[in-house]
Amino acid sequence: MAETKTDATIDLRGVMCPINFVKTKLKLEMMSPGEVLEVILDSGEPIQNVPKSIKEEGHRIVEVKKEGDFFRLKVERS
Amino acid sequence: MTDHFIQDKTTKVTVNLEGAEQKMDFNDLKSGGFIKQRQKDLFTVRLRCPGGRLSTEKLIEISKIAHKYSKKGVVHFSFRQSLEILYVDYKEFNAIVAELEKIGQKVASCGPRVRVPTACGGCEYNPNGLTDTQKMAEMVDKTFFGTPTPHKFKTSFSGCPIDCARTKEMDLGFQGVVDPKWEEEACTGCTICAEACKEGAIESDPDTGKPIFDPLKCIWCGDCIRACPTEAWRPKRYGHIVRIGGKHGRHPMEAVEVCSFLPDEKVADAIRLTIEWYNANGRRGERIGNTLKRVGLDNYLKFMEPVFQNNQAVKA
């Protein structure tokens, strides 16, 4: 998968559910449609829940990379 | 909650009211929904709220009626999601029933019959929901409420395997499930599904990251479908796990699973046939779980074949 360019990054390692999702949501709301936010999430509960919620809000997850104990997601704002 | 249902005592109650003579419709009592309290002359009036759902409009009207007739000005949420108006004087039964009827609110039932179905929020608004439990509860209430059975007959609908409506404790319970299907072309090997699966039914291939699915571990919750960023996991079919013979009370029993993916449109048939079997085989005062123990699960399953037929393994 080709590297997607990102417009902003939010590092949510160590941030609990559902605060991590709320922060993602707020950040996305500050961005324009089509812009890409990079979200860094811990494995375990955060990666189980946050992607589901991002999808349910209508945003698109365009890239996912696992890096050791965490995930790097790229989310396109709807 | 007490077991002192008035229906056993109705015949002994004399219509001996102070002052003017009043007529009481004892059939109203026999159909249940009026539960004797400790306090002399006072009863709990249990309303019929399938799935525990009420419009706010109706709730406002019920509040007014409850406020008028409850001698203590209190209501209670029953364990089966219906609203109960407490401390109602039996001399006012006719009046309260008439007022409730005017707003389209029916009184529930007690005793040996099909009870008001309970349900979680379901797929209408709960993100975990896989089936429209509220719609099903409404259908069951309309079609089967009050049908006489050898003993009480409780049904419930859970929208997902978390099973908030406790289908394992019902005489007949329906729990939503989804069969996930994976399409390789759409998969990017991101491994989120393996992380999202709480059952260990999905592992990621160490090289490609693509899922290796173990159907024996899957409980059909759909977390993989919801988590997948590329829609590589999709729903193949939705349905209900059907469980029978559960109960709580003094001697709890866990229901057994008798069908794995019953579609919505077959739920009514499953209930109708189960009631038929129960009425033919059950003894008076015997819950269906005990009837199954006495008569045998195979007997029931044979009877249910027309409905359950192609619906996968039975875990008895």
Distance of residue A1 Cα from the nearest chain B Cα, in angstroms? 8
Q: B97: closest CA among B144, B65, B75, B61?
A: B65
Kindly list the residues from chain B whose CB atom is less than 8 angstroms away from the CB atom of residue A66.
Answer: 190-191, 209
CATH number at residue B273: 3.30.413.10
Residue A2 covered by a domain = no
User: Does A51 contact B196 at a Cβ distance shorter than 8 Å?
Assistant: yes
Residue A46 covered by a domain = yes
If asked whether residues B146 and B80 sit together in one domain, one would say no
Residue B214 covered by a domain = no
How many domains would you assign to chain A?
A: 1
pLDDT tens string for chain B (316 positions)? 333 444 444 444 444 344 444 555 555 565 678 998 999 999 999 999 999 999 999 999 999 999 999 999 999 999 999 999 999 999 999 999 999 999 999 999 888 999 999 999 999 999 999 999 999 999 999 999 999 999 999 999 999 999 999 999 999 999 999 999 999 999 999 999 999 999 999 999 999 999 999 999 999 999 999 999 999 999 999 999 999 999 999 999 999 999 999 999 999 999 999 999 999 999 999 999 999 999 999 999 999 999 998 555 444 3
Residue B22 covered by a domain = yes
Distance from the Cα of residue B230 to its chain's centroid: 35
- How far is the C-alpha of B23 from the C-alpha of B118, rounded, in Å? 34
The low-confidence residues of chain A, meaning pLDDT below 50, are: 1
If asked whether residues B13 and B95 sit together in one domain, one would say yes
By annotation, the residues of A acting in catalysis are 17
Closest residue to A52, CB basis, from B190, B226, B230: B226
| Chain B residues 230-269 within an 8 A CB cutoff of chain A | 230
B127: alpha, beta or left? (left if phi > 0; alpha if psi -120 to 50): alpha
Residue A55 covered by a domain = yes
Kindly list the residues from chain B whose CB atom is less than 8 angstroms away from the CB atom of residue A61.
Answer: 229-230
CATH number at residue A47: 3.30.110.40
Domain that holds residue A14: 8-76
Domain that holds residue B254: 118-180+237-308
Q: For residue B186, what are the CA distances in angstroms to B33, B232, B248, B308?
A: 55, 5, 46, 34
If asked whether residues B15 and B162 sit together in one domain, one would say no
Q: What is the complex's ipTM, to 2 decimals? A: 0.84
Q: DSSP for A21-50, please give it.
A: HHHHHHHHHTSPTT-EEEEEEETTHHHHHH
If asked whether residues B123 and B63 sit together in one domain, one would say no
CATH number at residue B24: 3.90.480.20
Residue matched to tokens 């409506």: B165
If asked whether residues B31 and B122 sit together in one domain, one would say no
Alpha helices in B92-244 (DSSP H): 93-102, 133-144, 192-196, 223-227
Q: B279: closest CA among B291, B269, B296?
A: B291
